[in-house]
Amino acid sequence: MRTMTGSAAGYMLGVGAEDYSYFGVFPEPEEGYEKYFLTDEEYRELFAALALPGAMEALRYLCRSREGLYAPAVVSQHTGVSLSETERALDALTKAHLLAKEEITMPEGTVSVYALRDFSGIVPLLTFARWAWQGHGMNLVGNLMREKCFEKGAAGDETA
């Protein structure tokens, strides 16, 4: 069951399920949410990186592995995605700040290796993507926001 409640102070949402329950609290900062968002171009870069062939496969593989540094050939082997697509996806995910990239020196030369930057951030990102994708079955509770979420001085904001 999906639940959301909100007011001018922010909102809470969650899912109560036997197999995967979660809950989020998002108090609205005095200056509004938008100040803490990325720029539009940064969001485009993030979502474009996730949309590349091999990106989600690589991200899921690294999430399953969680720790360690992985060469593109290893990620490619475990995901079944071509090495060239894997390399492109890993570089894009690194530029989008989801992965960290290191160079290691091997007898055959320098090799790039990759690791998750923050597993704890990936889980909510993918969970809320699923929330948005499924987009149905919400049980609304409480006072729902009728004012604009992203603008200071919106209806109900007595501090403006």
Q: CB-based contacts of 146: which residues, under 8 Å, 6+ apart?
A: 155, 156
Distance, in Å, from the CA atom of 91 to the CA atom of 39, rounded to the nearest integer, reads: 20
Alpha carbons within 13 angstroms on the beta-carbon side of residue 73 total: 2
Tell me whether residue 150 is in a domain.
no
Question: 3-state class of 14 per DSSP?
Answer: strand
Tell me whether residue 112 is in a domain.
yes
Cα→Cα distances 114→21, 66, 82, 122, 128, Å: 30, 11, 17, 15, 24
CATH number at residue 79: 1.10.10.10
The predicted structure's pLDDT at residue 150:
53
Number of domains in the chain: 1
pTM assigned to the model: 0.78
pLDDT tens digits, residue range 63-107? Answer: 998 789 999 999 999 999 999 999 999 999 999 999 999 999 999
Tell me whether residue 47 is in a domain.
yes
pLDDT tens digits, residue range 21-65? Answer: 888 888 989 898 899 999 999 999 999 999 999 999 999 999 998
The predicted structure's pLDDT at residue 64:
92
Q: Please compute the mean of the pLDDT values over residues 95-120 and round it to a whole number.
A: 94
Distance, in Å, from the CA atom of 118 to the CA atom of 109, rounded to the nearest integer, reads: 28
